[in-house]
Amino acid sequence: MKKISLILAFLSLAVIGCNNKNEAETANKNTEVELGVDKKNNQINNNWLSEIQLDNGSKWIANAETTDGVVQMLSIVKSTKTTTVADFHDLAAQLNDVKNYIVKECTMKGPSHDNLHIFLYPLIEKINALGAISAVDEGTKIKRAIQENLTAYYNYFE
């Protein structure tokens, strides 16, 4: 009788444990979906504006290559016609090339460099997101956010 009770107790625990595992897996999947949405929204927002700082009320001095790269990217964004998903992917590739140039040629150090990173990281996320879009309306939103990001550069750097 004790063996039967013990076996039933183990089976009950196993069944309960399996049910809890399934609930945990479902909760994890729901969290991943929610995080995915939040991550997508992060790619088009400009929350970095609350993190970046001026140099005691003045703009940071950026190296010429960085400013030239921002000018070039802004020109590309403004002049590139984007009516298809492929157009947005091409735009992302062009912007990525210029971004790579900026990163490669960066000579900034210290607080100006730190603030440049606050500007660049969200821009890089947006460029990557633009390269992964699957719908024109999504691309339009991200393109607009990229343009806003690039335009804001001039508020903090010269």
* Percentage with pLDDT > 90 across the chain: 69
Quick one: pLDDT at residue 69?
98
pTM: 0.73
Quick one: pLDDT at residue 1?
54
Residue 136 has pLDDT above 50, yes or no: yes
Confidence of residue 151 (pLDDT cuts 50, 70, 90): very high
What mean pLDDT is reported for the chain?
82
Residue 101 carries which side chain, given as an amino acid letter?
Y
Confidence of residue 42 (pLDDT cuts 50, 70, 90): low
Domain ranges of the chain: 45-156
Residue range 6-28, pLDDT digits in tens: 454 444 444 444 444 444 444 44
CATH topology of domain 45-156: Four Helix Bundle (Hemerythrin (Met), subunit A) (1.20.120)
Query: What b/e string do you get for 79-112 counting C-beta neighbours within 10 Å, with b at 16 or more?
Result: eeebeeeeebbebbebbbebbebbeeebebeeeb
Residue range 88-122, pLDDT digits in tens: 999 999 999 999 999 999 999 999 999 999 999 99
Nearest to 147 by CA among 136, 139, 157: 139
